[in-house]
Amino acid sequence: MKDSLLVLSKYSRLGASSRLRTLQYRRWLEDAGFAVEYSALFDDHYLQGLYSGEKTHADLIGYYRKRISRLRQTPLPGLIWVEKEALPWLPWMFERALLPASVPIVSDYDDAVFHRYDRHRFAPVCWLLGRKIDRVMKSSQLVTAGNAYLADRARKAVAVHVEVVPTVVDLSTYSVRFRSFSNTAVRVGWIGTPNTWNAFGKTLHTQINDTLAAHGAQFCAVGAELEAGRVGNLEIVAWSEDTEVDAIQKMDIGVMPLPDTAWARGKCGYKLIQYMACGLPVVASPVGVNKEIVEHGVNGFIAESDEEWRSAIETLLSDADLRRRMGAAGRKKVEDSYSLQVWGPRVAQMLRRVADESRKA
């Protein structure tokens, strides 16, 4: 008989963090002997409203009621895997009261969600919620963290066991498609959400625009807005799960700008992994895990100052052979270290050990 595993994801498939950190592991979890149930806090409708600015507080009440109702159901699962926290913005005492004490918990983090609380501009939030995520981590039998920065926080919270699990891609979905460089404009590409485009991507486009113009190159921003469009050398491509790989394959260079902030240091570099999986050379800010993913001069360039960004883009725009070599090196790194084929069995066995050890206790 299979062990029941309740996965408390934050989002449904439209949410990248949930899709990549929990949902894509179903096959391996089932192979490891789990009967898996996914229960999302927020559905696709909520995320669509979030991106368009149309969400309402009334919606939130309904989502929280549904989550609380699920936590009170019987029979109890054999294991709970929670993405970040079960009830965002509510104190740990409420969450602890609802999570069954007899069921082991695994918690997963792919960004520095704790800084949403402990660095909040309002002191009461810091006082009430500043240590909440630390308490979730400490109460978990296993914490999976997307990078060393997040894992260090879990260790400082005295978590029982901590494992670094990168955010990975499915190699059966991502493939290399080399474009013809002779008769098409070179495309520098970025992928993200409207929020991250406004925060980071738009500034980079302005910063390198003269370099792009000098080479007749284009800038492709996937997911920057909900609707597709074009202004000058900037092409906005609407994001969808079904078309994102094809959109990346139509790029020649992938970029990931980030400011050096505590929040950004918690990012897991997934954009870079997507680009590299499609055989693209990359240019990235030297922030957090980016410095581990990008081997400067091998699979791409690290760029910090405006001049370094322009120089890196200039070099890659000017040399198609270099783009190919760096892209091939990046693809190899993803195959070896950042693929679902490598990490699927590993993650499933991590959860399997927690379930087995809990049964023995």
pLDDT tens digits, one per residue of 65-112: 999 999 999 999 999 999 999 999 999 999 999 999 999 999 999 999
Q: Please, are residues 257 and 200 in contact by the beta-carbon 8 Å criterion?
A: yes
pLDDT tens digits, residue range 343-356?
Answer: 999 999 999 999 99
**305 HSE (CA, 13 A, CB side):** 3
**What pLDDT score was predicted for residue 55?**
62
Place of tokens 């406004």: 198
pLDDT at 49: 80
Q: What are phi and psi of 171, to 5 degrees?
A: -65, -20
Structure confidence at residue 44 (pLDDT): 87
DSSP bridge pairs for 7: 38, 81
Residue 274, pLDDT > 90, answer: yes
For residue 210, pLDDT beyond 70: yes
For residue 180, pLDDT beyond 70? no
Across the strands, what pairs with 253?
188
**Distance, CA of 35 to CA of 239 (rounded, Å):** 32
Q: Mean pLDDT of all residues in the chain? A: 94
pLDDT score at 182: 57
**What pLDDT is attached to residue 361?**
67
pLDDT in tens, 118-152: 999 999 999 999 999 999 999 999 999 999 999 99
Q: What is the pLDDT confidence band of residue 47, given thresholds at 50, 70 and 90?
A: confident
- For residue range 26-43, list pLDDT tens digits in order: 999 999 999 999 999 999
**Residue 197, SS3?**
helix
Q: For tokens 């809990």, what's the residue?
A: 358
- Residue 28 tokens, joined: 């391996």
pLDDT for 179: 67
Beta strands in 26-70 (DSSP E): 34-38
Query: Domains in the chain, start-ordered, CATH in brackets?
Result: 3-168+339-360 (3.40.50.2000), 187-337 (3.40.50.2000)
Sheet holding 105-109, edge to edge: 34-38, 3-8, 79-83, 105-109, 142-145, 162-164
